[in-house]
Amino acid sequence: MIFENRFLDKVAIVTGAGQGIGKGVAERLANEGAKTVLVDRSDIVLGVADELAKQGLQVLAVLADLETYAGFEKVVAETLKAFNRIDILINNVGGTIWAKPYQHYKEDEIVKEINRSLYPTLWGCHSVLPAMIENKGGVIINVSSIATRSINRIPYAAAKGGVNALTASLAFEQAPNNIRVVAIATGGTEAPARIVPRNENKMTAEEEVWYQQIVDQTRESTLVKKYGQIEDQVNAILFAASDEAKYITGITIPVSGGDLG
């Protein structure tokens, strides 16, 4: 359901906007009145932004590697150049790359998982703060995961645990500046096959077994015993980002069919 003009004249940055949850969030924000900046390191985001622009919506696409501080600084600079302010940041970039018991991870794989699922959120929060403080307010939504209590993806779980801690502490620190910070812990979510996979290498037979164990454990951990839909996550993220949630900050909200992570 689209709420007409719920984000009218707000400037919102959405990371990982080329596909999946990020794409759904960006589309809804734009349709609900936001000046929306769609960020991804894949050029598929250009097509998403182009389709929204054809509808007469105010959008900007930015290509950037958000695993680097310079990448996020570029996003902020281009957003301010185009729209002069930043009201909302949706930190959506992240996602487990490998699925296997922890003892099978290599050193570089652990580093890559942390770089993928923690650093973009750290850089994003840091980069937008000056603009939000100058504007005397803002909202940061960090997309986390119930995988903080999961199997076969321990580095990813550690990264999302860091996102939850960042959310709580940053909200505490920035409340005097009228900046809200909320995390949405996504549960198992059905989505189309990724256009750009997180892992370019095909899973081995053993890795497919380990991945299926994640799926089975995630489904079993929910009260409803099934995966949710992208729309379920988008609805929660947009609610948390809206003025309807103006008295909610510093918490992680699970959207996971009852799995608290």
Q: Which residues pair with 184 in a beta bridge?
A: 143, 253
Which candidate in 102, 105, 156, 247 is catalytic?
Answer: 156
> What are the φ and ψ backbone dihedral angles of 260, each rounded to 5 degrees?
-90, -5
Q: Which residues contact 70 (CB under 8 A, 6 or more apart)?
A: none
Burial of 75 (0-12, 13-18, 19+ CB in 10 A): buried
CA 38, distance to chain mean position in Å, is 12
- Rounded to the nearest 5°, which phi and psi values hold at 193? -55, 135
* Residue of 145, 89, 88 whose CA lies nearest to 117: 145
Q: Report the distance separating Cα 157 and Cα 159, nearest Å.
A: 5
Told to judge if 156 belongs to the known catalytic residues of this protein, a careful annotator would answer: yes
Where in the sequence numbering do the catalytic residues fall?
156
